Amino acid sequence: MLTHSFQPDKPQSSRLFCAGVLISSNVVLTSATCLLSARNHILYVHAPASTVKKNYTVKYRVAHKDYNSGTHVHDFGILVLEKNVEWGKKKPRSACLDFTTKLQGDCLATGFSSDFEITTTLLSVEQKGCGPRQDPGDVCCGTNVSDDDDCIITPGAPVLCLSSDKVFTVVGVSRSICKNNKQVSIGELSTVKTWLQSELVEINLLQNVYTYKKL
């Protein structure tokens, strides 16, 4: 599973500002908030796990049609790259999406630190909003399980939880950074299954490419 960061305008000088996950050779799942915060910019995707270090220009982007910037309900977006991510001699890698595993219990999320190193934070996730007023219907709350380690999660980054066959699979997308170094809001992937599959059909991406199948 890989985390991909994207940045606006000039790929050599701009700062990384959001994250996502590659679900095929040229499609990235992220948050709608990330897309709309850069609506007037050219976007580039950087794939740090690729052996070929380069930035990939985004040719198409779409946010969920019912995304609400106030409540952040349906906070999901898709990026399509002009070219496939290159892996050199390594086997191409992308993540599979799990629409059946609940976004709860033992999970982990990714982000990039101040020096742009990819980090992982272990979470305990509950099926509710992090705040008393934050419950648009598709949001969960992840709590950092460690009192010693920093909670470093980037908006748009994938959230993985333990499936019934004991595999960590992508079941959500982070909607915020960690607040007070403790909690993060997460969108549950299963709630947008129909929309996501419909959008991916439009770009000719087959379900068996990105859908997780139990072992």
CA distance to 49, 60, 112, 161, per residue, from 119 (Å)? 13, 28, 6, 16
pLDDT band at 79 (very low <50, low <70, confident <90, very high): very high
pLDDT band at 5 (very low <50, low <70, confident <90, very high): low
- Note the CATH number of domain 105-190: 2.40.10.10
User: Based on C-alpha coordinates, what's the Rg of the chain?
Assistant: 16
Q: Is the pLDDT of residue 134 over 90?
A: no
Question: pLDDT at position 2, please?
Answer: 38
DSSP string for residues in 122-182: EEEEESS-SSTT---SSEEEEEE--SSS-----TT-EEEEE-TTS-EEEEEEE-SPPBTTT
Q: Which residue has the tokens 């748009």?
A: 156
Average pLDDT for 25-50: 87
pLDDT band at 133 (very low <50, low <70, confident <90, very high): low
Indicate the pTM of the whole model: 0.90
d(CA 17, CA 2): 17
d(CA 185, CA 175): 5
Question: pLDDT at position 143, please?
Answer: 96
Question: pLDDT at position 120, please?
Answer: 93
* Span 158-215, pLDDT tens digits: 999 998 888 899 999 999 999 888 999 999 999 999 999 999 999 999 999 999 987 6
Question: pLDDT at position 13, please?
Answer: 53
Instruction: Name which of 39-48, 92-101, 162-171 the model is least confident about.
Output: 39-48
Question: pLDDT at position 1, please?
Answer: 32
Domain ranges of the chain: 105-190
Question: pLDDT at position 11, please?
Answer: 54
